[in-house]
A and B are shown apart, each in its own frame.
Chain A
Amino acid sequence: MNPVESKQEYQKYVEEKSPNSPIFKNCFNAFWVGGLICTIGQIILNICKERSFDTATSGTIVSILLIGISAFLTGLNLFNKIGKFAGAGSLIPITGFANSIVSPAMEYKSEGYVMGVGGKMFTVAGPVLVFGISASILVGIIYLIFSTQSITLV
Protein backbone atom coordinates (compact mmCIF):
# COMPACT_ATOMS: atom_id res chain seq x y z
CA MET A 1 0.00 0.00 0.00
CA ASN A 2 1.33 3.43 -0.93
CA PRO A 3 -0.68 6.22 0.68
CA VAL A 4 0.86 8.97 -1.48
CA GLU A 5 0.11 7.31 -4.81
CA SER A 6 -2.54 9.87 -5.71
CA LYS A 7 -4.27 12.81 -4.04
CA GLN A 8 -7.56 10.94 -3.79
CA GLU A 9 -5.90 7.89 -2.24
CA TYR A 10 -4.09 10.08 0.25
CA GLN A 11 -7.22 11.95 1.32
CA LYS A 12 -9.06 8.69 1.87
CA TYR A 13 -6.10 7.35 3.82
CA VAL A 14 -5.85 10.49 5.99
CA GLU A 15 -9.57 10.33 6.71
CA GLU A 16 -9.06 6.85 8.15
CA LYS A 17 -5.90 7.78 10.02
CA SER A 18 -7.17 10.92 11.71
CA PRO A 19 -8.53 10.49 15.21
CA ASN A 20 -12.26 11.02 15.64
CA SER A 21 -13.80 13.26 18.24
CA PRO A 22 -15.43 11.37 21.12
CA ILE A 23 -18.86 12.06 19.66
CA PHE A 24 -21.01 10.25 22.24
CA LYS A 25 -19.36 11.98 25.17
CA ASN A 26 -19.57 15.32 23.33
CA CYS A 27 -23.26 14.82 22.51
CA PHE A 28 -24.04 13.86 26.09
CA ASN A 29 -22.32 16.99 27.45
CA ALA A 30 -23.93 19.17 24.77
CA PHE A 31 -27.33 17.72 25.67
CA TRP A 32 -27.28 18.38 29.36
CA VAL A 33 -25.49 21.74 29.29
CA GLY A 34 -27.67 22.99 26.42
CA GLY A 35 -30.78 21.68 28.15
CA LEU A 36 -29.74 23.34 31.39
CA ILE A 37 -29.18 26.73 29.73
CA CYS A 38 -32.63 26.50 28.11
CA THR A 39 -34.14 25.51 31.45
CA ILE A 40 -32.60 28.56 33.12
CA GLY A 41 -34.24 30.56 30.33
CA GLN A 42 -37.56 28.86 31.02
CA ILE A 43 -37.35 29.67 34.73
CA ILE A 44 -36.69 33.34 33.92
CA LEU A 45 -39.58 33.18 31.43
CA ASN A 46 -41.91 31.72 34.06
CA ILE A 47 -40.96 34.40 36.58
CA CYS A 48 -41.67 37.06 33.95
CA LYS A 49 -45.07 35.51 33.30
CA GLU A 50 -45.79 35.54 37.02
CA ARG A 51 -44.97 39.22 36.98
CA SER A 52 -47.47 39.51 34.09
CA PHE A 53 -45.15 40.64 31.30
CA ASP A 54 -46.40 39.80 27.82
CA THR A 55 -44.78 36.98 25.84
CA ALA A 56 -42.61 39.16 23.61
CA THR A 57 -41.23 41.21 26.50
CA SER A 58 -40.57 38.07 28.55
CA GLY A 59 -38.65 36.57 25.64
CA THR A 60 -36.56 39.72 25.31
CA ILE A 61 -35.79 39.73 29.04
CA VAL A 62 -34.65 36.09 28.81
CA SER A 63 -32.37 36.93 25.87
CA ILE A 64 -30.87 39.98 27.55
CA LEU A 65 -30.20 38.14 30.81
CA LEU A 66 -28.64 35.08 29.15
CA ILE A 67 -26.53 37.31 26.89
CA GLY A 68 -25.44 39.35 29.91
CA ILE A 69 -24.45 36.21 31.84
CA SER A 70 -22.58 34.85 28.84
CA ALA A 71 -20.72 38.14 28.31
CA PHE A 72 -19.84 38.21 32.00
CA LEU A 73 -18.51 34.62 31.93
CA THR A 74 -16.53 35.37 28.76
CA GLY A 75 -15.03 38.41 30.44
CA LEU A 76 -14.01 36.26 33.40
CA ASN A 77 -12.20 33.88 30.97
CA LEU A 78 -14.60 31.11 31.96
CA PHE A 79 -16.79 30.71 28.88
CA ASN A 80 -14.10 29.05 26.75
CA LYS A 81 -13.72 26.39 29.44
CA ILE A 82 -17.46 25.76 29.43
CA GLY A 83 -17.38 25.73 25.64
CA LYS A 84 -14.54 23.23 25.53
CA PHE A 85 -16.51 20.92 27.77
CA ALA A 86 -19.99 21.41 26.33
CA GLY A 87 -19.32 22.18 22.66
CA ALA A 88 -22.64 22.86 20.96
CA GLY A 89 -24.31 22.84 24.39
CA SER A 90 -23.06 26.37 25.02
CA LEU A 91 -22.60 27.41 21.36
CA ILE A 92 -26.13 26.84 20.05
CA PRO A 93 -28.10 28.66 22.79
CA ILE A 94 -28.09 32.47 22.61
CA THR A 95 -25.12 32.32 25.02
CA GLY A 96 -22.93 31.14 22.13
CA PHE A 97 -24.03 34.10 20.02
CA ALA A 98 -23.07 36.46 22.83
CA ASN A 99 -19.73 34.70 23.32
CA SER A 100 -18.98 35.00 19.61
CA ILE A 101 -19.42 38.79 19.90
CA VAL A 102 -17.56 39.28 23.18
CA SER A 103 -14.55 37.07 22.38
CA PRO A 104 -13.28 38.93 19.29
CA ALA A 105 -14.03 42.24 21.02
CA MET A 106 -11.69 41.23 23.84
CA GLU A 107 -9.14 39.70 21.49
CA TYR A 108 -8.71 42.82 19.38
CA LYS A 109 -8.58 45.23 22.31
CA SER A 110 -4.86 45.57 21.56
CA GLU A 111 -5.76 47.20 18.22
CA GLY A 112 -7.66 50.02 19.90
CA TYR A 113 -11.18 50.72 21.12
CA VAL A 114 -12.64 51.91 17.82
CA MET A 115 -11.26 49.73 15.04
CA GLY A 116 -10.15 46.93 17.36
CA VAL A 117 -13.03 46.35 19.75
CA GLY A 118 -15.67 48.16 17.69
CA GLY A 119 -14.57 46.93 14.29
CA LYS A 120 -13.74 43.32 15.04
CA MET A 121 -16.71 42.63 17.31
CA PHE A 122 -18.71 41.00 14.52
CA THR A 123 -16.01 38.92 12.85
CA VAL A 124 -17.67 35.71 14.07
CA ALA A 125 -21.25 36.82 14.77
CA GLY A 126 -21.63 39.18 11.78
CA PRO A 127 -22.69 36.42 9.38
CA VAL A 128 -25.33 35.29 11.89
CA LEU A 129 -26.96 38.72 11.79
CA VAL A 130 -26.56 39.05 8.02
CA PHE A 131 -28.19 35.70 7.32
CA GLY A 132 -30.77 35.87 10.10
CA ILE A 133 -31.99 39.35 9.21
CA SER A 134 -31.92 38.72 5.45
CA ALA A 135 -33.87 35.49 5.91
CA SER A 136 -36.46 37.28 8.05
CA ILE A 137 -36.93 40.02 5.42
CA LEU A 138 -37.43 37.35 2.75
CA VAL A 139 -39.94 35.58 4.99
CA GLY A 140 -41.79 38.89 5.44
CA ILE A 141 -41.86 39.60 1.69
CA ILE A 142 -43.02 36.08 0.84
CA TYR A 143 -45.69 36.35 3.51
CA LEU A 144 -46.77 39.68 2.00
CA ILE A 145 -47.08 38.15 -1.47
CA PHE A 146 -49.05 35.15 -0.27
CA SER A 147 -51.36 37.05 2.04
CA THR A 148 -52.30 39.68 -0.57
CA GLN A 149 -52.85 36.91 -3.13
CA SER A 150 -55.20 35.09 -0.82
CA ILE A 151 -57.10 38.33 -0.32
CA THR A 152 -57.48 38.88 -4.07
CA LEU A 153 -58.39 35.21 -4.54
CA VAL A 154 -61.15 35.47 -1.99
Chain B
Amino acid sequence: MKKIGKQTILFDNPPTILECASIVGPKEAEGPLCKYFDQTLEDEFWGEKSWEKAESKIIKETVNLVISKSGISNQEIDICFAGDLLNQCISSNFGLRDTNVPFFGVFGACSTFVESMSLSAICSESFANYSLCATSSHFCSAEKQFRFPLELGNQRPQSAQWTVTGSGSAIISKTGQGPYITAITPGKIVDMGIKDANNMGAAMAPAFADTLVTHFLDTGRTPNYYDAIISGDLGYVGKDIVIDIMASQGYNIKSNYNDCGILIFDKNKQDTHSGGSGCGCAATVFSGYLYKQLQEKKIKRLLLIATGALMNSTSSHQGESIPGIAHAISIEI
Protein backbone atom coordinates (compact mmCIF):
# COMPACT_ATOMS: atom_id res chain seq x y z
CA MET B 1 0.00 0.00 0.00
CA LYS B 2 1.48 3.35 -0.95
CA LYS B 3 0.36 6.88 -1.40
CA ILE B 4 0.86 8.44 -4.82
CA GLY B 5 0.36 12.06 -5.75
CA LYS B 6 -1.73 14.22 -3.46
CA GLN B 7 -4.25 11.82 -1.99
CA THR B 8 -4.48 8.52 -3.86
CA ILE B 9 -3.59 5.16 -2.34
CA LEU B 10 -2.42 2.27 -4.52
CA PHE B 11 -2.61 -1.30 -3.22
CA ASP B 12 0.34 -3.70 -3.56
CA ASN B 13 -1.91 -6.72 -3.18
CA PRO B 14 -5.26 -5.46 -4.39
CA PRO B 15 -8.05 -6.90 -2.23
CA THR B 16 -10.93 -8.75 -3.86
CA ILE B 17 -14.59 -7.92 -3.56
CA LEU B 18 -15.63 -11.43 -2.64
CA GLU B 19 -19.38 -11.11 -2.55
CA CYS B 20 -22.16 -8.52 -2.63
CA ALA B 21 -25.81 -8.50 -1.60
CA SER B 22 -28.63 -6.02 -1.88
CA ILE B 23 -32.20 -5.64 -0.65
CA VAL B 24 -34.40 -2.82 -1.91
CA GLY B 25 -37.85 -1.38 -1.24
CA PRO B 26 -40.97 -1.51 -3.41
CA LYS B 27 -40.31 1.63 -5.46
CA GLU B 28 -36.79 0.54 -6.36
CA ALA B 29 -38.25 -2.83 -7.34
CA GLU B 30 -40.34 -1.04 -9.96
CA GLY B 31 -37.22 0.60 -11.36
CA PRO B 32 -35.08 -0.52 -14.30
CA LEU B 33 -32.52 -2.38 -12.12
CA CYS B 34 -35.10 -4.61 -10.39
CA LYS B 35 -33.75 -7.93 -11.67
CA TYR B 36 -30.26 -7.28 -10.31
CA PHE B 37 -31.26 -7.04 -6.65
CA ASP B 38 -31.20 -10.10 -4.41
CA GLN B 39 -34.45 -9.31 -2.69
CA THR B 40 -37.22 -6.77 -3.11
CA LEU B 41 -39.73 -5.76 -0.44
CA GLU B 42 -43.47 -5.49 -0.91
CA ASP B 43 -43.94 -2.66 1.56
CA GLU B 44 -41.71 -0.19 3.31
CA PHE B 45 -42.52 -1.42 6.86
CA TRP B 46 -41.46 -5.05 6.24
CA GLY B 47 -43.58 -6.18 9.15
CA GLU B 48 -41.97 -3.72 11.58
CA LYS B 49 -43.68 -1.05 13.63
CA SER B 50 -41.65 1.91 12.45
CA TRP B 51 -39.56 2.89 9.43
CA GLU B 52 -36.47 3.10 11.58
CA LYS B 53 -36.98 -0.51 12.68
CA ALA B 54 -37.65 -1.50 9.09
CA GLU B 55 -34.39 0.11 7.97
CA SER B 56 -32.46 -1.76 10.67
CA LYS B 57 -34.05 -4.98 9.52
CA ILE B 58 -33.11 -4.26 5.91
CA ILE B 59 -29.42 -3.73 6.72
CA LYS B 60 -29.40 -6.73 9.07
CA GLU B 61 -30.90 -9.05 6.50
CA THR B 62 -28.60 -7.73 3.78
CA VAL B 63 -25.56 -8.46 5.95
CA ASN B 64 -26.87 -11.95 6.75
CA LEU B 65 -27.45 -12.49 3.05
CA VAL B 66 -23.95 -11.44 1.98
CA ILE B 67 -22.38 -13.62 4.67
CA SER B 68 -24.39 -16.67 3.65
CA LYS B 69 -23.73 -16.04 -0.07
CA SER B 70 -19.99 -15.76 0.54
CA GLY B 71 -19.84 -19.06 2.41
CA ILE B 72 -17.67 -17.71 5.21
CA SER B 73 -18.77 -17.57 8.83
CA ASN B 74 -19.29 -14.54 11.09
CA GLN B 75 -16.21 -15.48 13.11
CA GLU B 76 -13.98 -15.15 10.06
CA ILE B 77 -14.88 -11.52 9.52
CA ASP B 78 -12.15 -9.41 11.10
CA ILE B 79 -13.75 -6.02 10.86
CA CYS B 80 -16.97 -4.36 9.75
CA PHE B 81 -17.62 -0.81 8.56
CA ALA B 82 -21.23 0.29 8.33
CA GLY B 83 -23.28 3.46 8.31
CA ASP B 84 -26.53 5.12 7.36
CA LEU B 85 -28.26 8.49 7.34
CA LEU B 86 -30.20 8.46 10.59
CA ASN B 87 -28.94 10.37 13.63
CA GLN B 88 -26.05 8.58 15.33
CA CYS B 89 -26.29 5.87 12.63
CA ILE B 90 -28.98 3.96 14.52
CA SER B 91 -29.99 1.76 11.59
CA SER B 92 -26.59 0.12 11.30
CA ASN B 93 -25.94 0.13 15.07
CA PHE B 94 -29.24 -1.59 15.77
CA GLY B 95 -29.23 -3.73 12.68
CA LEU B 96 -25.77 -5.18 13.33
CA ARG B 97 -25.94 -5.54 17.11
CA ASP B 98 -26.51 -9.29 16.86
CA THR B 99 -23.92 -9.90 14.16
CA ASN B 100 -21.01 -10.35 16.59
CA VAL B 101 -18.33 -8.79 14.41
CA PRO B 102 -15.87 -6.04 15.37
CA PHE B 103 -17.72 -2.94 14.26
CA PHE B 104 -16.78 0.56 13.19
CA GLY B 105 -19.71 2.89 12.57
CA VAL B 106 -18.92 5.37 9.79
CA PHE B 107 -20.71 8.40 8.45
CA GLY B 108 -20.12 10.02 5.10
CA ALA B 109 -23.75 10.73 4.19
CA CYS B 110 -24.46 9.19 0.78
CA SER B 111 -20.73 8.49 0.26
CA THR B 112 -20.68 6.02 3.17
CA PHE B 113 -20.60 2.88 1.05
CA VAL B 114 -17.42 3.79 -0.79
CA GLU B 115 -15.97 5.13 2.45
CA SER B 116 -16.60 1.71 4.06
CA MET B 117 -15.11 -0.13 1.08
CA SER B 118 -12.02 2.11 1.13
CA LEU B 119 -11.45 1.52 4.84
CA SER B 120 -12.00 -2.22 4.36
CA ALA B 121 -9.46 -2.28 1.55
CA ILE B 122 -6.92 -0.51 3.76
CA CYS B 123 -7.54 -3.07 6.53
CA SER B 124 -7.09 -5.88 4.03
CA GLU B 125 -3.56 -4.65 3.36
CA SER B 126 -2.74 -5.13 7.03
CA PHE B 127 -4.60 -7.41 9.43
CA ALA B 128 -7.95 -8.29 7.89
CA ASN B 129 -8.58 -11.42 5.89
CA TYR B 130 -12.23 -10.61 5.48
CA SER B 131 -13.93 -7.30 6.09
CA LEU B 132 -17.55 -6.40 5.77
CA CYS B 133 -19.10 -3.15 4.51
CA ALA B 134 -22.77 -2.27 4.64
CA THR B 135 -24.92 0.84 4.35
CA SER B 136 -28.63 1.50 4.23
CA SER B 137 -31.18 4.24 3.75
CA HIS B 138 -34.95 4.41 3.85
CA PHE B 139 -37.10 6.95 2.05
CA CYS B 140 -39.61 7.36 4.87
CA SER B 141 -37.15 7.60 7.76
CA ALA B 142 -34.97 10.02 5.81
CA GLU B 143 -37.91 12.26 4.88
CA LYS B 144 -39.03 12.25 8.50
CA GLN B 145 -35.59 13.27 9.74
CA PHE B 146 -34.54 15.71 7.02
CA ARG B 147 -37.71 17.09 5.44
CA PHE B 148 -41.44 16.92 6.10
CA PRO B 149 -43.97 14.36 7.29
CA LEU B 150 -44.98 11.99 4.51
CA GLU B 151 -48.64 12.93 4.68
CA LEU B 152 -47.95 16.64 4.30
CA GLY B 153 -49.45 17.80 1.01
CA ASN B 154 -46.41 19.64 -0.32
CA GLN B 155 -44.81 19.64 -3.75
CA ARG B 156 -41.24 18.44 -4.18
CA PRO B 157 -39.04 20.78 -6.22
CA GLN B 158 -37.75 19.54 -9.58
CA SER B 159 -34.16 19.42 -8.32
CA ALA B 160 -35.07 17.26 -5.29
CA GLN B 161 -33.86 13.68 -5.13
CA TRP B 162 -35.60 10.56 -3.91
CA THR B 163 -33.96 8.68 -1.03
CA VAL B 164 -33.51 5.03 -1.97
CA THR B 165 -35.03 2.46 0.36
CA GLY B 166 -32.56 -0.36 0.53
CA SER B 167 -29.24 -1.67 1.69
CA GLY B 168 -26.14 -2.94 -0.02
CA SER B 169 -23.39 -4.98 1.53
CA ALA B 170 -20.01 -6.30 0.38
CA ILE B 171 -17.31 -8.59 1.74
CA ILE B 172 -13.74 -7.61 0.94
CA SER B 173 -11.18 -10.39 1.02
CA LYS B 174 -7.40 -10.17 1.25
CA THR B 175 -7.00 -12.81 -1.46
CA GLY B 176 -9.21 -13.83 -4.32
CA GLN B 177 -9.94 -13.79 -8.01
CA GLY B 178 -11.22 -10.24 -8.25
CA PRO B 179 -12.83 -7.87 -8.97
CA TYR B 180 -9.91 -6.10 -7.32
CA ILE B 181 -9.84 -2.78 -5.54
CA THR B 182 -6.70 -1.32 -7.09
CA ALA B 183 -6.74 2.26 -5.85
CA ILE B 184 -8.72 4.65 -3.70
CA THR B 185 -8.83 8.42 -3.67
CA PRO B 186 -10.34 9.75 -0.45
CA GLY B 187 -11.94 13.11 -1.13
CA LYS B 188 -11.63 16.48 0.52
CA ILE B 189 -14.59 18.42 1.87
CA VAL B 190 -15.62 20.93 -0.77
CA ASP B 191 -18.21 23.63 -0.09
CA MET B 192 -19.21 25.94 -2.92
CA GLY B 193 -21.85 27.72 -0.87
CA ILE B 194 -25.01 25.96 -2.06
CA LYS B 195 -27.68 26.22 0.66
CA ASP B 196 -30.68 24.63 -1.01
CA ALA B 197 -31.29 21.26 0.71
CA ASN B 198 -33.52 20.37 -2.23
CA ASN B 199 -30.61 20.60 -4.63
CA MET B 200 -28.06 18.12 -3.26
CA GLY B 201 -26.72 17.31 -6.72
CA ALA B 202 -25.48 20.86 -7.14
CA ALA B 203 -24.04 20.91 -3.61
CA MET B 204 -22.05 17.69 -4.13
CA ALA B 205 -20.96 18.10 -7.77
CA PRO B 206 -17.86 20.26 -7.02
CA ALA B 207 -16.60 17.67 -4.51
CA PHE B 208 -17.05 14.96 -7.13
CA ALA B 209 -15.13 16.95 -9.73
CA ASP B 210 -12.38 17.72 -7.24
CA THR B 211 -11.88 14.06 -6.36
CA LEU B 212 -12.07 12.93 -9.99
CA VAL B 213 -9.52 15.47 -11.22
CA THR B 214 -7.22 14.63 -8.30
CA HIS B 215 -7.55 10.93 -9.09
CA PHE B 216 -6.56 11.51 -12.72
CA LEU B 217 -3.62 13.73 -11.77
CA ASP B 218 -2.39 11.36 -9.05
CA THR B 219 -2.60 8.20 -11.15
CA GLY B 220 -1.79 9.69 -14.54
CA ARG B 221 -4.94 8.04 -15.86
CA THR B 222 -7.41 9.66 -18.22
CA PRO B 223 -11.21 9.23 -18.49
CA ASN B 224 -10.65 6.66 -21.27
CA TYR B 225 -8.81 4.36 -18.87
CA TYR B 226 -12.15 3.42 -17.32
CA ASP B 227 -15.03 1.58 -18.97
CA ALA B 228 -17.35 3.35 -16.62
CA ILE B 229 -17.11 6.26 -14.22
CA ILE B 230 -20.09 6.15 -11.89
CA SER B 231 -21.03 8.76 -9.33
CA GLY B 232 -22.95 7.91 -6.18
CA ASP B 233 -26.04 10.01 -6.36
CA LEU B 234 -25.67 13.35 -8.08
CA GLY B 235 -28.91 12.90 -9.98
CA TYR B 236 -29.77 14.56 -13.27
CA VAL B 237 -28.98 18.08 -12.04
CA GLY B 238 -25.61 17.06 -10.60
CA LYS B 239 -24.68 14.98 -13.65
CA ASP B 240 -25.14 17.95 -15.98
CA ILE B 241 -23.10 20.17 -13.70
CA VAL B 242 -20.29 17.63 -13.34
CA ILE B 243 -19.93 17.19 -17.10
CA ASP B 244 -19.60 20.98 -17.42
CA ILE B 245 -17.06 21.30 -14.60
CA MET B 246 -14.95 18.43 -15.95
CA ALA B 247 -15.04 19.94 -19.44
CA SER B 248 -13.78 23.23 -18.04
CA GLN B 249 -10.86 21.31 -16.48
CA GLY B 250 -10.07 19.70 -19.81
CA TYR B 251 -11.64 16.26 -19.29
CA ASN B 252 -14.38 14.85 -21.46
CA ILE B 253 -16.33 12.27 -19.44
CA LYS B 254 -19.55 12.39 -21.45
CA SER B 255 -19.25 8.96 -23.04
CA ASN B 256 -18.52 6.74 -20.04
CA TYR B 257 -19.96 8.66 -17.11
CA ASN B 258 -23.23 7.86 -15.37
CA ASP B 259 -24.86 8.16 -11.97
CA CYS B 260 -26.37 5.59 -9.58
CA GLY B 261 -29.25 7.94 -8.77
CA ILE B 262 -30.12 8.07 -12.46
CA LEU B 263 -29.70 4.33 -13.05
CA ILE B 264 -31.93 3.14 -10.22
CA PHE B 265 -35.18 4.93 -11.15
CA ASP B 266 -37.08 5.54 -14.35
CA LYS B 267 -37.44 9.32 -14.30
CA ASN B 268 -40.51 9.50 -16.51
CA LYS B 269 -42.50 6.63 -15.08
CA GLN B 270 -41.54 6.99 -11.42
CA ASP B 271 -41.61 10.76 -11.04
CA THR B 272 -38.48 10.87 -8.90
CA HIS B 273 -37.49 14.30 -10.24
CA SER B 274 -33.68 14.53 -10.13
CA GLY B 275 -33.10 10.82 -9.34
CA GLY B 276 -32.22 8.65 -6.36
CA SER B 277 -30.03 9.46 -3.36
CA GLY B 278 -29.12 8.16 0.08
CA CYS B 279 -26.57 5.74 1.54
CA GLY B 280 -28.54 2.92 -0.02
CA CYS B 281 -28.37 4.32 -3.54
CA ALA B 282 -24.71 3.76 -4.42
CA ALA B 283 -24.71 0.66 -2.17
CA THR B 284 -27.58 -1.13 -3.90
CA VAL B 285 -26.62 -0.07 -7.41
CA PHE B 286 -23.07 -1.27 -6.86
CA SER B 287 -23.94 -4.47 -4.99
CA GLY B 288 -26.77 -5.30 -7.35
CA TYR B 289 -26.03 -3.99 -10.80
CA LEU B 290 -22.39 -2.90 -11.09
CA TYR B 291 -20.89 -5.89 -9.28
CA LYS B 292 -22.65 -8.26 -11.66
CA GLN B 293 -21.41 -6.22 -14.63
CA LEU B 294 -17.87 -6.63 -13.30
CA GLN B 295 -18.32 -10.38 -12.77
CA GLU B 296 -19.64 -10.79 -16.29
CA LYS B 297 -16.74 -8.67 -17.54
CA LYS B 298 -19.10 -6.19 -19.18
CA ILE B 299 -17.26 -3.54 -17.20
CA LYS B 300 -13.58 -4.26 -16.70
CA ARG B 301 -12.41 -1.03 -15.16
CA LEU B 302 -14.82 0.85 -12.94
CA LEU B 303 -14.30 4.08 -11.06
CA LEU B 304 -17.01 4.42 -8.43
CA ILE B 305 -17.19 7.84 -6.79
CA ALA B 306 -19.83 8.10 -4.10
CA THR B 307 -20.78 11.61 -3.07
CA GLY B 308 -22.17 12.83 0.22
CA ALA B 309 -23.80 16.02 1.48
CA LEU B 310 -22.42 16.57 4.96
CA MET B 311 -25.30 18.46 6.55
CA ASN B 312 -28.23 17.93 8.87
CA SER B 313 -31.53 19.69 9.42
CA THR B 314 -30.11 21.88 12.21
CA SER B 315 -27.32 23.20 10.01
CA SER B 316 -29.72 24.01 7.20
CA HIS B 317 -32.13 25.75 9.61
CA GLN B 318 -29.20 27.85 10.78
CA GLY B 319 -28.56 28.92 7.21
CA GLU B 320 -25.33 26.99 6.71
CA SER B 321 -24.27 25.97 3.24
CA ILE B 322 -23.91 22.30 2.35
CA PRO B 323 -20.38 20.85 2.35
CA GLY B 324 -19.92 18.01 -0.12
CA ILE B 325 -17.57 15.05 -0.14
CA ALA B 326 -16.67 12.41 -2.72
CA HIS B 327 -14.58 9.28 -2.34
CA ALA B 328 -13.29 7.39 -5.37
CA ILE B 329 -12.58 3.68 -5.58
CA SER B 330 -11.06 2.04 -8.62
CA ILE B 331 -12.23 -1.51 -9.24
CA GLU B 332 -10.67 -3.67 -11.96
CA ILE B 333 -10.71 -7.26 -13.11
Contacts and interface: CB of A to CB of B under 8 A. Distances in A.
Do A and B touch each other in the complex, judged by CB within 8 A?
Answer: yes
A124 B149 contact: yes
A35 B316 CA distance: 34
Contacts, number: 104
A80 B244 contact: no
A19 B273 CA distance: 10
Chain A interface secondary structure, helix, strand, loop or mixed? helix
Interface in B196-217: 199, 202, 206, 209
Chain B interface secondary structure, helix, strand, loop or mixed? loop
A4 B153 contact: no
B49 A74 contact: no
B241 interface: yes
Contact of B154 (A19, A74, A83): A83
A102 interface: yes
Contacts of A7: 192-193
A14 B202 contact: yes
A18 B158 contact: yes
A103 B149 contact: yes
Interface in A12-47: 13-14, 17-21, 26
Given A1-B248, A14-B199, A19 B237 contact: yes
Interface of B: 49-52, 144, 148-159, 192-194, 199, 202, 206, 209, 236-237, 240-241, 244-245, 248-249, 274
Given A103-B151, A107-B150, A108-B149, 14 more contacts: A2-B249, A14-B194, A18-B199, A20-B158, A74-B153, A80-B151, A83-B154, A84-B154, A84-B155, A99-B153, A103-B149, A106-B149, A107-B149, A110-B50
